[in-house]
């Protein structure tokens, strides 16, 4: 029998108890804020009454989403998904709070939630309607995505006409049809360069994707076969999880499932608070990170051709009640580069990091979100106040912005004695080696080498960081198989080797990065680009350790390698072991050789026998290098983890080499280190004395333009940062650096506390 609403053709709300989704979202926010408990749950009645059943449901769902991910990824052809596991599935409440998530790129717990919240806020329930069997797609950066290449599939889960939740799946696609090839290209400086963006669009009904969507989407990107199979991966995974949830509801009943959803999130909130109290120390932790944007002279619009620095100060406050607050006040302004981010991406990424340190369990859901808060300055690089901002390579800034948070928490772990959990930070997970065109199979395609999923890990307080093994954004870091890359990319491996000394020196070394040397081969028309840290180290090291090494590029165009191969002459092979003593050039002639700090480039034509180096960065070190066990330095030398000359200048180790075998002289090392400590005191000055000299340089505005611009942006956006700066240096009211005085573009510089425009 039809209801009156149906006869009158009025839409019946799909939420619980006759509510709309918008009403449900508002109610959850209000009740959670008022009570301090998620959904006002002061007691977990289901969990307490029947804990085994509660955990059984959780295990079934958690196992199901992990299984769906593992199974669905085999559908994909893209090496980014199939080899590197750049996908993730998550299950949500009707209001878009995550209840359980798979392994993989779990940053998207937040971003897919943001997309569903966007649909709720924009009344999708009325138009275009949310129905059983619908399929939605989103990759719009400004909705809250990380970057355009992370494409979401979102599927509602209905039970007897009520919406009982959502399932979301995301894959990192290989190309988005941006102004440059690859998934995270250089070239975009505005949203309109970032590629094909889909804003929470209904792309299918009755579990079937619509033909107009399939045609339009595959014609909008390079590498359409990868795009198509990625979408099938996401849809397959979402439908597997939807089926699983419906089975659970059938078995447990809808009311129990509803109660479970609420309680598992509150349980996650309590678990997070407990971990903070168990492992850290209340107080304030401060740090800062920097990453270079060397755009002067690049092939970009004039207003984007400017050197600048992305500056991200962070202050972690752990309150008495273990509430975690992270404030990024003082961060740089957003800019005309593809490194901007959204608030959801920076905060969601923090959960990825916390899942590897503070909450290393499978209870990752939005409970932790309700136990923490963030200070995100509007107008900053991760909260642009202008929809024109580009985001294609957002990780450039994000991986730099997050790494100080490891160090902050590690100071707490050190104080409490949990030395085994300490991490000096993460590597800047670059280079991103990208390209596109007609490949060696004659197909229009693109590449983004995900070898960057295996960079050096930061050192801990009890052991060295692991080399070539991890990326912050995917806890399952994997460099992939060379043979697979060579099948899929028109590039042959000429070497794959650890780069000695790329990990930061310390009592415990940062894990080393490594290098792949790639030779162009077989593409019909192809362009390439690099994107990584160059002029700056993105982290500091911890408690006396040094940061991981900065970046550089090596590439060679129009080489003589064809002739050298024909004549069987020596070739450039292996790693670029010591860039101060270049080895490749000894076996190579080329019209153009780039060996410099310009580690971000726009696309350039790349042909057969051209060469490009992919340098994956190392992690920061822990502790004074002069405290390192000399026998460990001996091992570093023999394993080629460091270059011999740094054994003495950095680690104070005296050694002998015989037939390629290194032996450290323990007695001479002891003396050498004693002497080096003496030299430290001779060459250093009391910090207060140095401050007087540095203050003079500030007053005289003696710094490069990009450094002055960095401060001018932070001053313009933050009174607190300005006041703290001036108080520290004891500088008067009349001194200031303004953006307007630095001959930089005025475009996009909206929020400015020195102007009356707020």
Partner 1 sequence: MADYKYDHKVINELVEGTLEWYQIKNMMSSHKDAERFKVYREVMQERVSWDDPILLPLGLHLYIVLKENGDRIVKCDCGHEFCDYQENWKVHANIFIRDDEEKMNEIYPVLMAPDPEWQVIREYYCPSCAAQLEVEAVTPWYPVIHDFEPDIDTFYKDWVKLPLPEVKSK
Measured from the CB of residue 475, what is the shortest distance to partner 1 in angstroms?
14
> What angle, rounded to 10 degrees, do the helices at 719-729 and 687-699 form?
120
Residue 463 dihedral angles phi and psi, to the nearest 5°: -165, 165
d(CA 135, CA 198): 13
Tokens of 308: 């600048």
Which of 344, 441, 326 shows the shortest CA–CA distance to 147?
344
Other Cβ atoms closer than 10 A to 710: 21
Tokens of 734: 């009349």
**Which residues in 622-681 contact partner 1 (CB under 8 A)?**
622-627, 629, 643, 646, 649-650, 677-678, 680-681
Nearer of residues 567 and 683 to partner 1, judged by Cβ:
683
**Which residues in 548-577 contact partner 1 (CB under 8 A)?**
549-552
| 203 SS3 class | strand
Cβ contacts of residue 502 below 8 Å, gap of 6+?
Answer: 456, 512, 513, 514, 548, 549, 615, 617, 618
Please select the residue that binds partner 1; options are 8, 9, 687, 758, rule is CB under 8 A. Answer: 687
d(CA 340, CA 190): 10
Stretch that binds partner 1, among 253-261, 469-477, 560-568, 699-707 (CB under 8 A): 699-707
Residue 477 dihedral angles phi and psi, to the nearest 5°: -45, 135
Nearer of residues 375 and 579 to partner 1, judged by Cβ:
579
- On whether the CB atoms of residues 555 and 630 are closer than 8 A, the answer is no
Other Cβ atoms closer than 10 A to 375: 15
**x-or-dash pattern for partner 1, window 331-370, by CB under 8 A?**
-----------------------------x----------
Stretch that binds partner 1, among 206-214, 218-226, 239-247, 695-703 (CB under 8 A): 695-703
Measured from the CB of residue 655, what is the shortest distance to partner 1 in angstroms?
17
Q: Which sign does the torsion angle of CA 90, 93, 96, 100 carry? A: negative
Nearer of residues 288 and 668 to partner 1, judged by Cβ:
288
Nearer of residues 170 and 318 to partner 1, judged by Cβ:
318
Please select the residue that binds partner 1; options are 435, 501, 511, 630, rule is CB under 8 A. Answer: 501
How does 416-446 read in b/e, with b if 16+ C-beta sit within 10 Å?
A: eebeebbbbbbbbbbbbbbbbbebbeeebbb
Measured from the CB of residue 301, what is the shortest distance to partner 1 in angstroms?
23
Does 710 contact partner 1 by CB under 8 A? yes
**x-or-dash pattern for partner 1, window 240-279, by CB under 8 A?**
-------------------------------------xxx
**Which residues in 88-127 contact partner 1 (CB under 8 A)?**
none
Measured from the CB of residue 481, what is the shortest distance to partner 1 in angstroms?
26
d(CA 746, CA 739): 8
Does 732 contact partner 1 by CB under 8 A? no
Please select the residue that binds partner 1; options are 36, 443, 656, 728, rule is CB under 8 A. Answer: 728
Stretch that binds partner 1, among 59-67, 128-136, 448-456, 690-698 (CB under 8 A): 690-698
**Which residues in 436-475 contact partner 1 (CB under 8 A)?**
461-463
Cβ contacts of residue 216 below 8 Å, gap of 6+?
Answer: none
Ramachandran category for residue 562: left, alpha or beta (phi over 0 → left; psi -120 to 50 → alpha): alpha
Please select the residue that binds partner 1; options are 207, 252, 386, 578, rule is CB under 8 A. Answer: 578
Measured from the CB of residue 440, what is the shortest distance to partner 1 in angstroms?
31
Does 586 contact partner 1 by CB under 8 A? no
- Residues facing 527 on adjacent strands: 436, 605
Measured from the CB of residue 462, what is the shortest distance to partner 1 in angstroms?
5
368: which DSSP letter?
Answer: H
Does 704 contact partner 1 by CB under 8 A? yes
Measured from the CB of residue 670, what is the shortest distance to partner 1 in angstroms?
15
Measured from the CB of residue 472, what is the shortest distance to partner 1 in angstroms?
17
**Which residues in 275-304 contact partner 1 (CB under 8 A)?**
277-279, 281-288, 290, 292
Tally the residues of the chain.
Answer: 758
Measured from the CB of residue 279, what is the shortest distance to partner 1 in angstroms?
6
Please select the residue that binds partner 1; options are 214, 419, 593, 736, rule is CB under 8 A. Answer: 419
Residues touching partner 1, count (CB under 8 A): 95
158: which DSSP letter?
Answer: E
Stretch that binds partner 1, among 46-54, 220-228, 438-446, 721-729 (CB under 8 A): 721-729
Please select the residue that binds partner 1; options are 128, 579, 644, 748, rule is CB under 8 A. Answer: 579
Measured from the CB of residue 395, what is the shortest distance to partner 1 in angstroms?
19
Measured from the CB of residue 298, what is the shortest distance to partner 1 in angstroms?
16
Mode of pairing for the β-strands spanning 87-92 and 98-101 = antiparallel
**Which residues in 125-164 contact partner 1 (CB under 8 A)?**
none
Tokens of 59: 């295990």
d(CA 489, CA 591): 24
- On whether the CB atoms of residues 165 and 62 are closer than 8 A, the answer is no
- On whether the CB atoms of residues 229 and 218 are closer than 8 A, the answer is no
Whose tokens are 């005085």? That residue is 741
Does 397 contact partner 1 by CB under 8 A? no
**Which residues in 516-545 contact partner 1 (CB under 8 A)?**
534-537, 539-541, 543-545
Tokens of 637: 């030398």
**Which residues in 398-417 contact partner 1 (CB under 8 A)?**
408, 411, 414-417
Measured from the CB of residue 499, what is the shortest distance to partner 1 in angstroms?
8
Ramachandran category for residue 39: left, alpha or beta (phi over 0 → left; psi -120 to 50 → alpha): left
Please select the residue that binds partner 1; options are 47, 242, 507, 640, rule is CB under 8 A. Answer: 507
d(CA 751, CA 732): 24
Whose tokens are 């494409």? That residue is 151
Does 691 contact partner 1 by CB under 8 A? yes
Stretch that binds partner 1, among 61-69, 125-133, 222-230, 546-554 (CB under 8 A): 546-554
Nearer of residues 93 and 410 to partner 1, judged by Cβ:
410
Does 739 contact partner 1 by CB under 8 A? no
Please select the residue that binds partner 1; options are 16, 473, 546, 557, rule is CB under 8 A. Answer: 546
Does 706 contact partner 1 by CB under 8 A? yes
d(CA 208, CA 350): 35
Question: Before 280, cis peptide (omega within 30)?
Answer: no
**In a 10 Å sphere around its CB, with 0-12 CB exposed, 13-18 middle and 19+ buried, how is residue 232 labelled?**
middle
């Amino acid at each position: 029998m039809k209801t009156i609403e149906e006869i009158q053709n009025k839409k019946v709300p799909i939420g619980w108890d006759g509510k709309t989704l918008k009403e449900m979202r508002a109610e959850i926010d209000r009740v959670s804020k008022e009570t301090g408990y998620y959904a006002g749950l002061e007691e977990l009645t289901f969990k307490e009454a029947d804990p085994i059943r509660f955990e059984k449901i959780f295990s079934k769902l958690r196992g199901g989403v992990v299984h769906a991910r593992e199974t669905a990824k085999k559908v994909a052809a893209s090496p980014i998904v199939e080899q590197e596991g750049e996908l993730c599935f998550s299950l949500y409440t009707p209001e878009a709070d995550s209840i359980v998530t798979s392994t993989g790129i779990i940053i998207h717990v937040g971003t897919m939630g943001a997309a569903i919240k966007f649909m709720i806020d924009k009344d999708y329930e009325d138009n275009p309607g949310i129905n059983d069997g619908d399929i939605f797609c989103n990759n719009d950066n400004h909705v809250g995505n990380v970057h355009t290449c992370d494409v979401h599939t979102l599927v509602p889960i209905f039970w007897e006409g009520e919406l009982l939740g959502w399932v979301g799946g995301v894959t990192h696609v290989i190309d988005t049809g941006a102004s440059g090839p690859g998934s995270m290209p250089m070239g975009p400086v505005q949203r309109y360069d970032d590629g094909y963006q889909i804003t929470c669009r209904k792309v299918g009904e009755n579990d079937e994707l619509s033909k107009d969507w399939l045609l339009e989407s595959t014609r909008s990107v390079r590498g359409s076969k990868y795009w198509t199979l990625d979408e099938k991966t996401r849809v397959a995974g979402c439908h597997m999880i939807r089926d699983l949830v419906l089975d659970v509801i059938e078995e447990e009943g809808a009311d129990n499932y509803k109660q479970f959803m609420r309680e598992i999130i509150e349980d996650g909130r309590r678990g997070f608070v407990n971990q903070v109290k168990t492992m850290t120390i209340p107080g304030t932790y401060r740090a800062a990170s920097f990453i270079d944007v060397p755009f002067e002279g690049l092939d970009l619009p004039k207003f984007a051709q400017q050197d600048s620095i992305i500056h991200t100060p962070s202050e972690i406050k752990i309150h008495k009640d273990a509430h975690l607050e992270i404030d990024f006040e003082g961060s740089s302004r957003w800019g005309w580069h593809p490194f901007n981010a959204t608030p959801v991406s920076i905060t969601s990424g923090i959960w990825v990091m916390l899942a590897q340190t503070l909450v290393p369990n499978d209870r990752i859901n939005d409970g932790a979100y309700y136990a923490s808060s963030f200070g995100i300055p509007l107008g900053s690089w991760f909260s642009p106040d202008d929809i024109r901002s580009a985001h294609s390579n957002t990780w450039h800034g994000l991986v730099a912005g997050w790494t100080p948070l490891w160090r902050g928490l590690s100071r707490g772990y050190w104080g409490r004695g949990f030395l085994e959990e300490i991490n000096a930070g993460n590597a800047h997970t670059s280079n991103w080696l990208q390209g596109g065109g007609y490949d060696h199979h004659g197909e229009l395609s693109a590449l983004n080498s995900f070898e960057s999923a295996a960079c050096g890990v930061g050192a801990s307080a009890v052991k060295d960081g692991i080399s070539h093994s991890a990326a912050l954004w995917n806890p399952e870091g994997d460099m992939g198989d060379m043979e697979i890359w060579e099948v899929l990319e028109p590039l042959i491996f000429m070497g794959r080797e650890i780069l000695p000394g790329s990990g930061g020196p310390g009592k415990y070394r940062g894990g080393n990065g490594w290098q792949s040397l790639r030779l162009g081969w077989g593409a019909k028309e192809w362009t390439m680009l690099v994107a990584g840290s160059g002029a700056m180290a993105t982290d500091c090291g911890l408690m006396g350790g040094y940061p991981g090494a900065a970046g550089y590029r090596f590439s060679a165009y129009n080489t003589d390698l064809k002739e050298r191969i024909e004549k069987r002459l020596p070739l450039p092979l292996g790693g670029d072991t010591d860039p101060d003593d270049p080895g490749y050039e000894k076996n190579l002639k080329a019209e153009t050789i780039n060996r410099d700090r310009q580690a971000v480039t726009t696309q350039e034509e790349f042909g057969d026998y051209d060469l490009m180096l992919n340098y994956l960065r190392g992690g920061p070190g822990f502790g004074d290098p002069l405290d390192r066990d000399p026998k460990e330095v001996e091992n570093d030398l023999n394993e080629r983890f460091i270059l011999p000359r740094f054994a003495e200048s950095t680690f104070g180790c005296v050694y002998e080499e015989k037939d390629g075998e290194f032996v450290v002289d323990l007695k001479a090392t002891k003396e050498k280190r004693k002497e080096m400590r003496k030299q430290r005191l001779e060459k250093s000055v009391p910090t207060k004395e140095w401050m007087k000299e540095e203050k003079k340089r500030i007053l005289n505005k003696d710094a490069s333009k990009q450094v002055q611009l960095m401060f001018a942006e932070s001053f313009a956006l933050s009174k607190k940062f300005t006041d703290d700066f001036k108080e520290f240096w004891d500088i008067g009211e009349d001194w200031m650096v303004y953006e307007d005085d630095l001959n930089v573009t005025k475009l996009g510089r909206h929020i400015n506390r020195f102007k009356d425009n707020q």
